[in-house]
């Protein structure tokens, strides 16, 4: 298991194999795998489909393809059942995060999601993520949990994504049409030829298919995240993963995960402001690998919002020593510069973060 933090996407076919209500048939082996990951010091985030399927039998609909409001009602009642189904298999607490694409596009909400996931993992809680189907409009929906899982992998800075479904992997042809179709063990890079191998879903409770799985793999691998498509109906898949084997199709990351993150911070994000640091903060950030605290900030320049990138300046030499994603706006930061982190709540009336730039969101430039 060559990963530290993994996002596991579990499809509706595994949550509700009878296409109505939750089942533990395929969930128990997944839970065992997650427990083994925890024992090995790995961090796990779940992206779970199945809320609509879980609530399907409780909402009258009279159609194999219910209306959107009906599906939203199914999701509302099914989400509770799905979460209860997961929690019963774990000795550690689970948490629920319901998000939309709009949450991921908004800088402040993106940072809030990032911080929430970070703190949950630090406290040994299993985050279980799903799209907020009960309120999401078409414009704000991700649309499928394969791509949602890839976005969660990005925001959580995972280094591995496992997409579990009812298929063994990616085939050159549809194995239902051709039983002798060849399955690809590895995909070096997602190309148009790879997409041509995909087919849509025939499961009416699912929203994805092989095409959305490839889309998710492309998003993840471009950012240094190894991605697997696996058959979650086969318990030996998890045993093989734990022993370092590839039991499905591996989409290879295009570059090292750490390198991808640092490259993105250094070359893609434009800095909107700067903070000038005293000698103590420079030493903590540059030599000790610490996050930036408000106590070490002497001055602030520029106008920026939560989630914007800022430069970290040595106030004595004027040298730019680092850049990173700021947890505060310039307006709030001017109020708390130079103070102890424990005073933030008293001064601002709230404290979204005790650090100004987290070490994980920072790249050194010297």
Mean pLDDT of 319-344: 96
Full DSSP string of 154-191 = HHHT-SEEEEEESS-SEESS-TTT-TTPPEESEESS--
The CATH fold assigned to 5-255 is Carbamate kinase (3.40.1160)
Would you kindly state where each structural domain of the chain is located, as residue ranges?
5-255, 269-364
Find the DSSP H helices in 88-122: 101-105, 107-122
Contact 149, 216 (CB under 8 A): yes
Q: Which of 116, 232, 249, 100 has its CA nearest to residue 181?
A: 249
The least confident of 30-44, 152-166, 208-222 is 208-222
| pLDDT for 205 | 42
| pLDDT for 156 | 93
DSSP secondary-structure letter at 292? Answer: B
Task: Report the relative pairing of strands 320-325 and 271-277 from DSSP bridges.
Answer: unpaired
Contact 265, 363 (CB under 8 A): yes
Confidence band, pLDDT 50/70/90 cuts, at residue 232: very high
Confidence band, pLDDT 50/70/90 cuts, at residue 54: confident
Q: What is the pTM of this model?
A: 0.82
In three-state secondary structure terms, 125 is coil
In whole angstroms, what is the distance from residue 98 CA to residue 326 CA? 24
pLDDT at 176 > cutoff 60: yes
In three-state secondary structure terms, 97 is strand
| pLDDT for 206 | 44
For residues 9-46, one letter each, b for 16 or more C-beta atoms within 10 angstroms of the residue's C-beta and e for the rest, the string is: bbbbbbbbbeeebbbeebbebbbebbeebbeeeebbbb
pLDDT in tens, 118-174: 999 999 999 999 988 666 555 445 668 899 999 999 999 999 999 998 889 999 888
In whole angstroms, what is the distance from residue 327 CA to residue 8 CA? 27
pLDDT in tens, 73-115: 888 888 888 899 999 999 999 999 999 887 887 878 888 999 9
Share of the chain above pLDDT 90, in %: 62
How many Cβ atoms sit within 10 Å of the Cβ of residue 223? Answer: 21
Domains 5-255 and 269-364 share a fold: no
Q: Which of 265, 175, 273, 158 has its CA nearest to residue 221?
A: 158
User: Could you give the C-alpha distances from 38 to 1, 3, 45, 81, 125, in angstroms and in order?
Assistant: 12, 12, 11, 25, 11
Find the DSSP H helices in 185-256: 192-196, 210-221, 236-242
User: Could you give the C-alpha distances from 187 to 29, 172, 191, 244, in angstroms and in order?
Assistant: 26, 11, 9, 18
| pLDDT for 140 | 44
Mean pLDDT of 293-315: 96
| pLDDT for 256 | 79
| pLDDT for 79 | 87
How far from the centroid of its chain's Cα atoms is residue 161's Cα?
9
In whole angstroms, what is the distance from residue 110 CA to residue 307 CA? 8
The CATH fold assigned to 269-364 is 2.30.130
pLDDT at 61 > cutoff 80: no
């Amino acid at each position: 298991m060559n990963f530290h933090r993994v996002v596991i996407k579990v499809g509706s076919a595994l949550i509700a194999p009878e296409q109505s209500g939750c089942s533990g048939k395929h969930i128990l082996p997944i839970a065992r795998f997650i427990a083994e990951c925890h024992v090995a010091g790995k961090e796990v985030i779940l992206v779970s489909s199945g809320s609509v399927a879980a609530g399907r039998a409780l909402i009258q609909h009279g159609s194999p393809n219910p209306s959107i409001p009906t599906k939203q009602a199914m999701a509302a009642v099914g989400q509770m059942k799905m979460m209860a189904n997961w929690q019963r298999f774990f000795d550690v607490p689970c948490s629920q995060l319901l998000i939309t694409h709009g949450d991921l596009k908004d800088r402040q909400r993106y940072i809030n999601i990032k911080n929430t996931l970070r703190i949950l993992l630090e406290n040994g809680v299993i985050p279980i993520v799903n799209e907020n189907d009960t309120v999401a409009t078409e414009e704000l929906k991700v649309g499928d949990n394969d791509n949602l899982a890839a976005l969660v992998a990005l925001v959580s800075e995972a280094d591995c994504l496992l997409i579990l479904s009812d298929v063994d992997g990616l085939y050159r042809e549809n194995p239902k049409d051709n039983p002798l179709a060849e399955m690809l063990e590895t995909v070096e890079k997602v190309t148009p030829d790879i997409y041509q191998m995909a087919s849509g879903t025939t499961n009416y409770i699912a929203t994805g298919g092989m095409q959305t799985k490839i889309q998710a793999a492309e998003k993840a691998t471009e950012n240094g995240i190894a991605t697997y498509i696996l058959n979650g109906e086969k318990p030996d898949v998890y045993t093989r993963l734990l022993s370092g084997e590839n039991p499905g199709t591996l989409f290879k990351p295009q570059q090292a995960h750490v390198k991808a993150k640092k490259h993105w911070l250094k070359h893609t994000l434009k800095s909107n402001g700067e903070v000038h640091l005293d000698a103590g903060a420079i030493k903590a950030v540059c030599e000790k690998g610490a996050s930036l605290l408000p106590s070490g900030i002497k001055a602030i320049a520029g106008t920026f919002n939560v989630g914007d990138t800022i430069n970290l300046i040595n106030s004595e030499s004027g040298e730019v020593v680092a850049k990173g994603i700021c947890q505060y706006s310039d307006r709030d930061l001017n109020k708390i510069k130079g103070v102890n982190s424990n005073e933030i709540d008293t001064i601002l009336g709230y404290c979204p973060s005790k650090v100004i730039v987290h070490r994980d969101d920072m790249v050194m430039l010297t």
